[in-house]
Amino acid sequence: MPQIFEIFGYPISLHTPEIEQSRRQARCPFMGGECDGGGNRYSSQIELKHHAELREYFGECEVVASGICSIRLLENDSPWVVCPRRLLVLGRENAVERNHQQNSEVAMLKLLGYKKGTNLGIWSEVKLEYKEVMNGVEKTFDYTFDYLVMPIGSVGQDSICEQLHGKWSLLRRILEKSGYTIARRDGMDYVENFPIGVPSIIEIMTSSTSGGNKRKRTTIAQSFEDAIFQKPHAAPSINKRQVWARMASQLIVKSEAALSWGGKTLWLIQDTLADYISASTALDLNKFVASHTDEVNILSFAYAKESSPNGIVELKTDNLFAGKISSGGIEPSFQDIVKSPVCPPLSSLLSLLVSKGKPVNVAIAP
């Protein structure tokens, strides 16, 4: 039976005063602030006015996120991460907020290949929509990047006008409205922390959960509530196929986009998801273990065997999988992720049809 492994960053088996205080504040130790449910689980937020026991536990809060970080399907198996914040949070400037996930961050930055000392800008949830007519047909690129990483520096107004194809009077107003600092030097305006150089896309792919069953109290919100009070609970299961489908639909496109800009896309996943992809598609990731990046790049992480002194189980680097988008069918490539791992023989289909019973007979009209 699936069980919650971590709530608000800590294994549910731990109940030190410090951990309990952090939980009562609904605090995510990876974000360094209040849990937001992972940015994609708003439907599982709990309105405390309907839950007297939870309202007493969380104090002043009116709404609390169901802060489930991971779920373990079987006892002693590795947990499945279900919240992207658990794998990596980028853009935390405060050093106090960077006490965790250092291994993930260092490994990611190293693979991006920027020179030491480079100042990097980080943007989250970057939605890019672009349209272009090609051969009379309108083509659309419409994707959202989890994180966009790009070197930043001081850039003069002339260079910005050239890059953005606009007049400085208009661009200046837009930049100021967006919070950029503009300094006047040597008769020219300079924009500080403006994106320069080669961009990189960071995608974090964690597992989805099934909807759960309200009658059996296996929804995210119900299992969270029971686990908070150390009651017996049953968590929803992992929807592995949905995770694979979401990743397969974006893997090639986002890799191609970064390559067209001279950069790269790096996918961060868990070792359990890597194993599932290898088992359920024609893409055997074990054939792509690499020491350097390529056209497609996947970095996997695994849970450490034991928790750290502060109670959090840190993630360690597992493998870098890298290779070509396509090899023209000559060798394995990442396009294999959309191919079947194995095709059943016709006899298997016939056996299934026989077991389903006599078919409806529909004649084709003469």
Instruction: Give the gyration radius of the chain's Cα atoms.
Output: 24
Long-range contacts of the stretch 138-145 (C-beta < 8 A, 24+): 141/253, 141/257, 143/250, 143/253, 143/254, 143/257, 145/201, 145/202, 145/203, 145/254
Percent of the chain with pLDDT over 90: 59
- Which has the closest alpha carbon to 125: 36, 245, 252? 36
pTM of the model: 0.90
pLDDT at 174: 95
Question: Reduced to 3 states, what is the DSSP secondary structure of residue 105?
Answer: helix
pLDDT at 96 over 60: no
How far, in Å, CA of 177 to CA of 197, rounded? 23
Percent of the chain with pLDDT over 70: 97
pLDDT at 60 over 80: no
Residues counted in the chain: 366
pLDDT at 11: 95
pLDDT at 231 over 60: yes
- Which has the closest alpha carbon to 277: 246, 255, 316? 246
**Mean pLDDT confidence for 153-178:** 95
**Mean pLDDT confidence for 64-78:** 91
DSSP labels for 152-192? EEEEEHHHHHHHHTS-HHHHHHHHHHTT--EEEETTEEEEE
The answer to whether residues 248 and 281 touch, using CB atoms and an 8 Å cutoff, is yes
Q: How confident is the model at residue 248 (pLDDT cuts 50, 70, 90)?
A: confident
CB atoms within 10 A of CB 168: 15
Q: Which residue has the higher pLDDT, 59 or 261?
A: 261
pLDDT at 10: 95
